[in-house]
A and B are shown apart, each in its own frame.
Chain A
Amino acid sequence: MEIKNTAKKYLDDPAVVTARNCIIARGEYLYQLVNEAKKKGLSSEFAHCAIYNWGDSIRRRLKDPETTNVKEIIDQLFTEMECKIWEDEVTATEEEARVEFHYCPLLEGWLRNTDDPQMLQELCDIAMECDVALFDKPRFDYSIEESFFSGADHCTMVIRKHKPETEGDTDAH
């Protein structure tokens, strides 16, 4: 399956190009570290844990780390520069946000090193641990509705305020 991950905008913006190159390099670091660890017998669980911890450290630095206001978090994280780098389209309310990103520099870094679909999905799952830490239960429900790996030319991330189904719902992360 062909992966359609091509930057289309801000190609002549030196700040965006530089930022993308840095993220590509970070993606390459992730691939090589995970791959080398696997060769030495360690599963990628270590990387999942590391990137989740990174996401949690970002959460703790938000204005209100325990907020349940989706828009409040989105506004802090999806700056103008971030939206340019990832070619994001963002819509957000207090209850819900949809983030559609049309380019992933991390994926570009991985594709320079591997075309193994399983490895690519695994690396994506590792990288998304950052978002899981920021947006998952018990405060929110987080899901990926479409992705580059399902043949789309973008990824769509949906975050909704978690609503307990019944009183005493203890569905915690």
Chain B
Amino acid sequence: MEKIVPQITDNQRVNEHRAAVEHRATWMYLMLEEAQKRGLSVEFAREAIGRCGCIQKLARMETCPDFESFMKATMNELVNQAWEQEIKWGEDEVFVENHYCPLVAAWQKLTDDDERLAELCDIAMDGDRGLFDKPLMKFELIQTLGEGAPTCQMRFTKIKE
């Protein structure tokens, strides 16, 4: 898989944010490596990171209790630039396409194993599944940079009461 390359490169705040996200991805990679060397399967990481997402969801819902406010807070300007997003905003559905991912960028500095990259991406997306899926919306992951697609594509559909 080719190394992903950002188009936005001269924005200091974006670069700092990406570096911080890369740091988290690197810790995740290194801890997973050491845990697996010691015989643990990746399941533990899926549960751990999924739980992170769920906890963040509950915290965010305290100030953003509905679909629109939750999505606006999450897909904010800094995230939009750091992930180089194209977003189609609808009342009941939001479609997001990411052209860059700092997590994948971090992992590509550590490994060139495409299968491992795809696995790391899917484990990290357990965080997004925890963050987004229910009760406000249904979260669909259509394709990812981590699996070698040209962009990440995600659909968020409001769950109506």
Binding site for B on A (CB under 8 A): 14-15, 18-19, 22-23, 25-26, 28-30, 32-33, 35-37, 39-40, 42, 45-47, 49-51, 53-54, 81, 112-113
Contact = CB atoms under 8 A, between A and B. Distances in A.
A51 B26 CA distance: 10
B31 interface: yes
Contacts of B16: 15, 18-19, 81
A33 B31 contact: yes
A29 B55 contact: no
Contact of B38 (A22, A36, A46, A81): A46
Contacts of B38: 42, 45-46
A40 B35 CA distance: 11
B20 A35 contact: no
Contacts of A30: 27, 31
Interface in B21-48: 21, 23-24, 26-28, 30-31, 33-35, 37-40, 43-45, 47-48
A124 B45 CA distance: 20
A12 to B, nearest CB: 15
Size band of the B side of the interface? 20 to 34
Main secondary structure, interface of B, reads helix
B49 A50 contact: no
B31 A47 contact: yes
Contacts of A113: 55
B35 A42 contact: yes
Given A15-B13, A36-B51, 13 more contacts: A26-B24, A28-B52, A29-B27, A29-B52, A32-B51, A33-B35, A33-B44, A33-B45, A35-B48, A37-B44, A46-B37, A51-B30, A81-B16
